[in-house]
Structure 1
Amino acid sequence: MVAGMLEGGGVSCPVLFRPEAGAGDGAGALIAAARSRTVPPAVALDEIALWHDRLVAAGCARIAYKACASFDSTAQGNIGPAADLLAERAGRRPVLMSAGFPRFGATVHQGYLFYRQRLVSDSIKRLDPLTPMEDPDLVRHLGRQTPHRVGLVGHLVLRRGVVAAEEALSALAAEGVGHVLLDASDDGDVAVSADLAAGRDLPVVASDPLIVELALRLCPKGTAEAPAAPPHGPVAVLAGSTGPVVMAQLAALAHPVLTLDLLAEGDPAALVARALDWAAGQGGSFAISTATDAAGLALSQGALGAAGAARRAEEVLGQVARGLHGRGLRRFAVAGGETSGAVVAAIGLGSARALPEGPLGLGECLGQAGGGPVWLFLKPGKLGGEDALLRAICHGEGRAR
């Protein structure tokens, strides 16, 4: 999504899925698509450090860590440790932090996180299977993840402009604050925060809007080589997210849907084989899903643990994607951020070019895997209307809906 917004703003922005992947010529920004959100902090920090060094070696003058718009994490989460790592590498504090994505209904006001006009603790985000957001006070929430004090520059300051924000930031820095959260009540807050960040060479840990606005201010514009032409053929929808949003999107499909029960087979390989056999009998686009309702989620988590259930779903759908790709399928629509990472890794995609915002919104990209082009639509599980996956199939097949 970030790369698509930058490409639409005139900044060439390849997405790298593996540290050894080539960035190509003419890039104004690079995105490292790491999978550090839900792994143990020590593992996450190793991966972030590896990518940090790779990006510095590639010539990136500023490094920012992108978190989910709702800063999904627990008290043992990785956002605070990631911010501390960036501060240590840069040798500078405070770290500028910003959550929210006003365009999609995620906002931060006076340090409190709202999702779709409700406190995040009263929203569907409180039910996330791995990172339930139970505390809307982000200053307090982030303070549990780092030994450094977290301060706040709120909306009432940001609405007065960048000079007032500079003064507030300087005062907090003089107090020894290690991290400063910036409100994102609306796009105006984000714009002032981006001006503030552009004028200060400080580490940044933020969600999509601030990352994009900062990059648009700092990165050179220009065009790189055009992405590969999209391949032809049916679309495979792979849905590993869970909850009411993705369940409604699957129900709206006018295509065959296979729902896999993670507990039905003792060996995940048997689930993969069953899915591939089923897919071989389909004459067009289809969906394979591990999505379930709250009762089904409770059963799988009770048997496998929250992390175990999530990892099994990712493993199964990743291997299904590999099998489908090996049989010649080249178009994938994936629901769920962690599932997207598993699919990309399984099919061996090293890098991709995101497409500017189009009929599907953001999340469309093209890459090369196995010697040929691959089209992907990667979307967060909890975003999009009920027809989001249906539109992805229609668009992927090259027909209007």
Structure 2
Amino acid sequence: MIGAIADDFTGATDVAVALRRRGLRTLLYFGLPPQGAQPPEHDAVVIALKTRTVHKADAVARSLRALRWLRAHGAAEQVYFKYCSTFDSTPEGNIGPVLDALADALEAPIVPMTPSSPEHGRTQYNGYLFVGDVLLGESHMRHHPLTPMTDSYLPRLLEAQSAYRSGVVTLPHVRGQAVERRLAELREQGVRYAFVDALAEEDLMTAGRALVRAPLVAGAAGLAGGLAAARAGAAGQEETAAPEPSGPAAVLAGSCSSRTLEQVQVMIEAGRPAHRLDALTEQDADSLARRALAWYDALDARDGAPLIYSSLEPAKLRRVQQALGAERSAALLESAIGRIARGLVERGVTRLVTAGGETSGAVVSALGVPGGVIGAEAARGVPWIFVPSGPALLLKSGNFGDPDLLLEATR
């Protein structure tokens, strides 16, 4: 069995659907499963944590608790640590500290990984991470409000956070079927973490076949799909029909990524009702939520699914953070969005779309969602999640989806 630990909720849905797509029966839990939970038959379990930007000691502690649960419930063969395909982190962590703790706990001699996800425009070459056709440090991620990425060389980024050395499994090693030989060489050189180059989906499939026995693997959802394909059979299995949601819908957007800003603008230009949460004029989460829900109550259903958002372009976001502080403004808006989510569900919303990892975590926590069944994908790696009782959820990473994703998902 594969046991996966994800550092945010949208990343967890991404990796869960990558495993399911290859034919593995996959369970998704938000946080540690409830005490005494008896999971149904499965081939993979994904535990979604909210550890990307918390204090690194908290991130390590939560990740180790998730590891203990997975190992106690059958994930003895392989553990996968899922981080973002843009390697979202700071020189303090949290990718490095969590990996160090997991590697030590599993006694993993070397940990292969890659953030490459070609279907989302993320590729790795000679250890450098590209976003589309530009280096990570020259992409929109350079201006990320919480984890600005100004370097593109992955070994250097990880070594700044970790107690161990990093190296690279280059593309010739991958395409020459020499991944295992290169890993052995790096291990002899004292390297603990090995970034595997991948420019295409087939590179990830090749890596997956070579790494199927590694006790700990890490990266974006692409490599998890390669491991799943290796386990399910070289050709994988056909994706089975997945349920589609229905009923009243609403969008809650908190990500300030350039793609989410595009998606918000598309909704507004299409004439959908839109309400912006303004943390500068209303510095109380309860007041922000009440105002938004009163606005929602006055809408005409014929206008279509509404958008409630706090997403801001970089210059405006900086002004908010300078006035309130980055942590305070983020906490204020996340708390308000969680309250709004509860209010929308009470008012009959059965399809809830969220944009942004932190936003999605706030909504899932506010609704008390323990986990769910993976449904149809509204975009590649963005599936609907059907929970035991409550709305169908679409938890979208800030950078994922075409510009019209929010509009189309709520038709």
Q: What TM-score does the superposition give when structure 1 sets the normalisation length? A: 0.91
* Partner Cα separation in structure 1 for residue 31 and residue 220 of structure 2: 22
Counterpart residue number, 1:276: 293
Counterpart residue number, 2:318: 298
The alignment status of 1:129 with 2:145, answered yes or no, reads yes
Counterpart residue number, 1:5: 18
Counterpart residue number, 1:249: 263
Instruction: Find the partner of 2:191 among 167, 177, 181.
Output: 177
Mark the CA change 1:222 to 1:124 in structure 2 (over 3 Å): closer, same or farther: closer
Q: Which amino acid aligns with 1:137?
A: Y
Q: Which amino acid aligns with 2:404?
A: D
Cα offset for 1:6? Answer: 2.4
Residue 252 of structure 1: SS of its match in structure 2? Answer: helix
Counterpart residue number, 1:138: 154
Counterpart residue number, 1:58: 73
Cα offset for 1:260? Answer: 1.0
Cα offset for 1:23? Answer: 6.0
Instruction: Find the partner of 2:367 among 347, 369, 372.
Output: 347
Retained in 2: the 8 A contact 1:75–1:141? yes
* Partner Cα separation in structure 2 for residue 139 and residue 111 of structure 1: 7
The alignment status of 1:265 with 2:282, answered yes or no, reads yes
Mark the CA change 1:342 to 1:188 in structure 2 (over 3 Å): closer, same or farther: same
The alignment status of 1:329 with 2:329, answered yes or no, reads no
The alignment status of 1:213 with 2:232, answered yes or no, reads no
Q: Which moved more, 1:136-145 or 1:326-335?
A: 326-335
Q: Which amino acid aligns with 1:19?
A: L
Deviation track 1:307-351 (CA, whole Å, cap 9, x = no partner) reads 333232222211210121223322101111121111111111101
Correspondences of 1:100-111 after superposition (within 5 Å): 100-111=116-127
Correspondences of 1:154-165 after superposition (within 5 Å): 154-161=170-177, 164-165=178-179
Unaligned 5+ residue runs, structure 2? 1-13
Instruction: Find the partner of 1:385 among 381, 396, 402.
Output: 402
Residue 64 of structure 1: SS of its match in structure 2? Answer: strand
Correspondences of 1:2-41 after superposition (within 5 Å): 2-21=15-34, 22=37, 24-41=39-56
* Partner Cα separation in structure 2 for residue 390 and residue 48 of structure 1: 35
The alignment status of 1:308 with 2:328, answered yes or no, reads yes
Q: Which moved more, 1:136-145 or 1:75-84?
A: 75-84
Retained in 2: the 8 A contact 1:238–1:333? yes
Instruction: Tell me the C-alpha RMSD between the 2 structures.
Output: 2.2
Instruction: Find the partner of 1:367 among 386, 392, 397.
Output: 386
Cα offset for 1:219? Answer: 6.0
Retained in 1: the 8 A contact 2:345–2:391? no
Cα offset for 1:30? Answer: 0.5
Mark the CA change 1:191 to 1:25 in structure 2 (over 3 Å): closer, same or farther: same
Residue 307 of structure 2: SS of its match in structure 1? Answer: strand
* Partner Cα separation in structure 2 for residue 333 and residue 45 of structure 1: 29
Q: Which moved more, 1:260-269 or 1:41-50?
A: 260-269
Query: What is the percent sequence identity of the aligned residues?
Result: 34
Residue 53 of structure 2: SS of its match in structure 1? Answer: coil
Q: What TM-score does the superposition give when structure 2 sets the normalisation length? A: 0.88
How many residues align? The count is 386
